[in-house]
Structures are given as C-alpha cells and as structure tokens.
Chain A
Amino acid sequence: MKDYIEMWKELDLDLSAHDELLKVLSGFYQDIYLSQQDRPKGMGYFDFVMSEIHGLRVKELVEAKKQGQKVFGTFCVFVPEELIWAVDGICVGLCAGAEAGKEEAERVLPRTLCPLIKSFMGFKIARLCPFIEVSDLIIGETTCDGKKKTFEILSSFKPTYVMEIPQMKKQNDFNLLKEEVLKLKDEIEKTSNKKITEENLSDAIRLINKRRKALQRLNKLRQKNPFVISGKDALLVNQISFYDDPVRFTEKVNILCDELEDKIDKKQVQDKARILISGCPMAVPNWKIPHIVESSNAVIVDEESCIGERNTRELVDESGTTFEEMIENIVKRYMKIDCACFTPNEERIENIVSLAKKYNVDGVIHYTLQYCDPYLIEAYRVEKALEKESIPVLRIETDYSLEDTEQLKTRIEAFVEMLR
C-alpha cells in the first residue's frame, strides 16, 4: 500500500480516512469472501483485484491518462460504454455501496435519500474514492429524481455531463435516446479529442459483447448443483466488471469458467434453497444480503439487477456495418433495459417470472434500497406476479448500515426454512 500513498496524495484523497476505509473493507472481505470453503482457484484473480481496488487499478488509470487516454465515470448501465471504449477511453462504474462519508453527504443532501446516491456523494465530498478523482468526465443520467438532482450538486465538484434517459418505450422515446446517444458521442469526442469511427465503434461493440458473453457463461455455470461457485463470488465478478480492464477481465472470467466446467458433477447434489435476487443493484462492498442468504443454507443463483442480468443479458447486434446502423443497434440494445424507472414496465415483471422458472428457484428475494421509489413501488406488482405462479417472495428494504443485520437474518432464515 505504501507505493500508492504518493498517488493518493496527488489525487487529493483524505489519507487517514481513506486508510480507515481500506482497513474496514479488508476485514469485511476476509469475513465474507476469504472465509468461504472450496473456492475456485480462478477467484484468486478477483481477490487480487479487490485487494488492489484503490491501488493497482487506479495506478493503471493514472498511467493511461499520462499516455493521453481519458477516464469516464458512470453510474448506470444505461450509459452506452461502447462509445467510451471506441475512443480508447476507459469507463469505470462509480456506484458506491458503503456508508463511508455519510455525514459529509448529508451536509448537502436530504437524509431521506437513496443510500447509493448518498454514498457516491459522500465518497466525493469526503475525498475517499480515487475513481471519482481520476475521472476526466462524469457521465450521469436521468434515471431517477434523486440522481438527476444530485448531479446538479456533483457538477460543482467535478465536470459532469448528464444524458437524458426516456421513461417510456414509445417510438419518440427511441428517437430521444438516439439523439442523446449522438450528443454523448459528441461530448466523448470532445473530451478525448478523438473521433468515433465505424472501425473503432465496431471494435468496441465486440469488446463489450465479449465481456457480456463471458458473464453470461459464468451465470449459466452458477446454476449447476452441486454448486461450483457461490452466489457471492459470482456477484463479485459482476461487480468487478465495472472497474476492470475489459480484455483482461474477460480472459480471467473465461479461465474461471473453464475451471468451473471441470468441477461439474464431481460432488453430491447439495440440499440448499435456490434464491433469485431481484431489485436494486448491489455495489461494492454492499454484500450484506448475499452474505446473510448464503449463511442460511441457500445459494443465490442469479441477480436480476443492474449489477447482474440487466447488464449482461442483451448484446449489441454486431451485424451493423455503417456508423448509422451501429448507433441504431446500440440504441435498440439499451432500450431493452427494464429498469423500474420505465412505465409501463411489464418486461421486468415478465422477466423475473421467467428467470425464476428458468433457474428453477425456490424463492425470490426482492431487494430494495431505502427510499428507492421506483423499485419499492414496483415490488408490489412483482410480488403479485410471482405469487400467481406460486413462487414465494420475500421483500426486503434496507440501506448500507449494518444495524438491521439481526432482523434481516431472522427474516431471511425464516424464508429459507419456509422453502425447505
């Protein structure tokens, strides 16, 4: 860690508070991840990435910037990252999953606001996140009120560009997203001083598709019983996909998958409940619910969330040859995202039911972050749709604090007992 202190100083982090954060994170990681039995060897790479999350990866970004590459920070799977990779830029996810900097965040934001938003704002104001600091441009979006109003405040700390996301899926909404994608393209070209061409865009589409395919492959493998990988580990790999270099990451995921394929059918079938998590994303290090679930005789076989299926399910059609066709294919792919910010949003409800059936789950845990109105409200219809299919549902609403761990344990354990 000593090697990075100069770098962190240059990035103007609050060194002592940052030190504290890394200490807590590392203890947390030990308890939740490293203590697991029989982990695949291939997870070693991801453990390494996590141990170096604010170190080596940030150093790579700093070096890349010296070579003229630009870093773009995003908060949503709606930002078409293909455009960023096309100009040889680097895209990093900035969603945060810890309470660090909460007091700082509450100086500028209401207390009753989504913990994810408070978290990234807290990380920025308390100077705890090297990824925000290293970003040349933050690309926000208008998925929810909390985010769009917070970006107004964030922009006084960091250059922030906000793209508009439609709220419905009619023809004019497609047109809107297309216009927004083209405007974002201009912005990215301006920041990077490079042009997006048919050639580099086509390469970027293939690059990110490859990463999505590797994650789809992993998701298939986590379904196998006897379980070859824990749900927690699979979630971690998905979380890291937002930070890591896509070429290296894809290769490492495929190596992990090769190992998992060899492990199949070598053990007794395990008597554990199969759980699908649906709802809000779980950003690093928000492992509270997965840890409780997997300590309760259950395995999480899928996350329907943005850090999960929603990010990997759809590929961009690679058959486009002209610039126009490629943009059209990107827009089509991104319009399939079934975030709760849309209305109507039947696709999401249908998708959850179909995932539950496809993965043969015993129950669904609908997870929502506190004050996240779109997901909290949609939970009602999700629950009704699942009940109609006789699939048990447990609704959980929580934040990043650990105070409710015991109550959550009781509810989750009782849910798993109910499924057995």
Chain B
Amino acid sequence: MKTLGIDIGSRTVKAVLLKDKKVLSSFTTLNTYDFANIIKRILDELECDKVLATGYGRYLAKRDFDIDVVTEIKAFAVGVHHLEPRARTILDIGGQDTKVISLNERGDVIKFEMNDKCAAGTGRFLEIMAQAMGYKIEELGAEALKAQKKDLQISSMCTVFAESEVISLMARGEKKENIAHAVHKAIVTRVISMLKRVGIREYLVFSGGVAKNPCIRSLLEKELEISVHIPYDPQLIGAYGAAVLAGGIL
C-alpha cells in the first residue's frame, strides 16, 4: 500500500510517499500561498492509496480535497518514533513555530509546549537575520561557527528589535560571523528554556528546517551537554509521520 503524508507548513510544503514503510519519494517546495495548487500538484505526481495532511495549512487540504488531518505535534511524534524508537524528547524548529514534545516508550505524546503568536526564535527569525547580514540562509549556520568572538549578545527576541540590534552591531564594525553567532545564541537560550519547561529526557531528536543549521545544533549540545540527534532529512519528519499515520501501521 502506498501512503502519502503532506505537511503544509508556514514557509514550506513537504510531502512523503511511503510504500510498505519505505520512502518512495519526497517533495519540498516553498509555500507560495497558493496551497490548493501545490496540494493538487502533489496529489497528481505522487499517486497513493491513502493520504493524510498535517501542518498549519491542513484544514485547506481538508476543505478543498477532503483529506483527513492530524496536528503536526502528533505527526512529528509518530515520524520521530518510527525513525528512532529511543527518542524521548523532540525539538522541532520550523518556519514559524518552535515545539518541544515529550514521548513515552510507545511514542505517545505525554507533554508538549509550543510558542504562541510570535515567531521569535524560529526559522523565519533566522531568515530575516541572515538577510540583514547579507547571508544566504543555507550558509548562515556554517558562517556563525567561524566566529572568533563569542560573547556578543542579542538581547531582544522580537524579530524587529533583534534586526535593529544586528544592524547596530554591524554599524559598530563587529564582524559578521560574530554577530551571526550571537543571533544563534539568542535562539538557543530561548529554546533551552522551553525544553526545560517540558523536561529534557534523552534521546533528544532535533527536527524541522532549522535542524539543518549546524550552529544551532552545536550550541545546543554545548549548553545541554547531551547529544542532539538530527534525522537524515529533518524537514520531512512531519510529512513522514503523516504518511505513517495514513497507513495506520502504528
């Protein structure tokens, strides 16, 4: 049986097609806000027996295509548990939200936290900071790791205020990589307090688009003093979990 999971996130849309638990193909595209068209393209290209949608835009898939839905919390929990049954804590940093999910040995969600309205400390935050410093988002983390000076601080977590802090640091003549490092540190500090609220239990899996950023991972490991495990394609976990759930192979 072929099952499809579609994760309609705030910045990107992801899809994973499974056949008998094995990934047949996957798909990631920037969200153009023409959800219906993107979903239609996915459904046309990735033929399947069953489909399940998750993510911020899941109800559009339900409304326009009558696709069943599940929250991204559940989808991530299932996706991670299937890839790594040892996982007990998931940190997911996506385009516009950050979540921490605590799992039991069966992969059930036992507690979770999610940021509210504000996108501070998420992928979008990093994108805007990268833009302010003239970096591409893909290179931002690697550049930040080159920092010599690691004591710079970005004190504001509001994206708008943080951007002006970045600009004033540049105006002061600070090196870009040092500022980039400070931006990453600010995010990690915020994320750690959320992790601590839920409680950090090993094994920790870090997923979502931001998990591709090597500096965030490195700072997390340094601060938490535990290993942070990143799946092969961290951005696809939600879609993968939805595909697993669609097949009912729990």
Contact = CB atoms under 8 A, between A and B. Distances in A.
A410 B116 contact: no
Contacts of B114: 407, 410-411, 414
A6 to B, nearest CB: 42
A418 B113 CA distance: 13
A417 B116 contact: no
Most-contacted residue by chain A among B70, B73, B74 (CB, 10 A): B73
Interface in A360-411: 392, 397-398, 403-404, 406-407, 410-411
Contacts of A392: 110-111
A227 to B, nearest CB: 23
B4 to A, nearest CB: 20
Nearest to A418: B109
B71 A413 contact: yes
Q: Using C-beta atoms within 8 Å of the partner chain, give the interface range for chain B.
A: 10 to 19
Contact of A410 (B71, B110, B111): B71
Which of A392, A404, A407 has the largest count of B CB atoms less than 10 A from its CB?
Answer: A407
Interface string B56-69: 10000000000000
Given A406-B56, A407-B97, A414 B116 contact: no
B117 A417 contact: no
B73 A407 contact: no
A83 B110 CA distance: 49
A2 to B, nearest CB: 38
Interface residues of A, number: 14
B97 A418 contact: no
Given A398-B116, A407-B114, A407-B117, A414 B97 contact: no
Contacts of A404: 116-117
B73 A417 contact: yes
B35 interface: no
Contacts of B71: 410, 413-414, 417
Contacts of A403: 117
Contacts of B111: 392
A417 B97 contact: no
A21 B226 CA distance: 54
Interface string B94-105: 000100000000
B72 interface: yes
B117 A414 contact: no
A250 B247 CA distance: 52
Contacts of A415: 112
B216 to A, nearest CB: 22
Nearest to A399: B117
Nearest to B112: A414
A11 B241 CA distance: 58
B56 A414 contact: no
A418 B110 contact: yes
B108 interface: yes
Given A404-B117, A407-B116, A417 B109 contact: yes
B243 to A, nearest CB: 17
Interface string B192-222: 0000000000000000000000000000000
Contacts of A413: 71
Interface in B41-89: 56, 70-74
Nearest to A398: B116
A414 B73 CA distance: 6
A415 B114 CA distance: 11
Contact of B74 (A398, A406, A407, A417): A417
A362 to B, nearest CB: 13
Contacts of B74: 414, 417-418
A410 to B, nearest CB: 5
A417 B74 CA distance: 7
Contacts of A410: 56, 71-73, 114
A210 B222 CA distance: 63
- Candidate in A397, A398, A410, A415 with the most chain B CB atoms within 10 angstroms: A410
Nearest to A395: B113
A418 B108 contact: yes
A403 B117 CA distance: 8
A35 to B, nearest CB: 16
Contacts of A414: 71-74, 109, 112, 114
Chain A to chain B: the 8 pairs with minimum beta-carbon distance, closest first: A414-B73, A414-B71, A418-B109, A404-B117, A413-B71, A417-B74, A410-B71, A411-B114
29 contacts: A392-B110, A392-B111, A397-B116, A398-B116, A403-B117, A404-B116, A406-B56, A407-B97, A407-B114, A407-B116, A407-B117, A410-B71, A410-B73, A410-B114, A411-B73, A413-B71, A414-B71, A414-B72, A414-B73, A414-B74, A414-B109, A415-B112, A417-B70, A417-B71, A417-B74, A418-B74, A418-B108, A418-B109, A418-B112
Interface of B: 56, 70-74, 97, 108-112, 114, 116-117
Given A397-B116, A404-B117, 8 more contacts: A392-B110, A398-B116, A411-B114, A414-B72, A414-B74, A414-B112, A417-B73, A418-B74
